[in-house]
Structure 1
Amino acid sequence: MAEEAAADDVMLTRAAQAGDVAALGLPLERHRAGMRAVALSILGPGPDVDVVMQDAMLIALRRIGDVRDPRAVGPWLRMIVLLHLADGRVRSQARAGVRKT
């Protein structure tokens, strides 16, 4: 079953990279729980998790061409969540005037 899902991820990721944006829907749905787990582990439960998930999925749609190894689309999607959260924290700290010491 896992091998079949990985093969689907490869096929669908390549299709999305070729311009079939709808092809990314199944991998996004398949890896949603892992993406959400990353957001929850950092933010805890709350509405911000849903915002981060929505933003991460939009980023994935725009950046699907960046995937070098379609077999690793799951980890790539989780990394998008993590980087999006980190980027948001950096921007928040900059707006608040927090400096590194």
Structure 2
Amino acid sequence: MAEDYRNQAIGVFELESECICFVALDAAAKAAAVKIQGVERNRLAAGACVKMRGSVSDVKAAMEAALDVARPLTKIVSHTVIASPSEDTEKAIAMTINK
């Protein structure tokens, strides 16, 4: 059964190294009260994308921790925090997680 993430912010970061994604998501999870929603391997390279959920302040704190750990180890491809994802955004995210 899928977890209900309604009314939660989402943080997404993509790194050039899948291995370092796990190091970064560990730092994120330890830094703030976030749940890791998914890790998706990048089809074009050896990297991956991490999606995490929680309150806006927790997601921002977790994102900062993740990027601080990743920065010296690999290239940060992109990152963002969406404070209040729309219903359509939630559907799109769920499709990438459940494919």
Q: TM-score, normalised by structure 1?
A: 0.27
Larger helix proportion, structure 1 or 2? 1
Question: Radius of gyration: which is bigger?
Answer: 1
Larger RCO (CA under 8 A, 6+ residues apart)? 2
Larger strand proportion, structure 1 or 2? 2
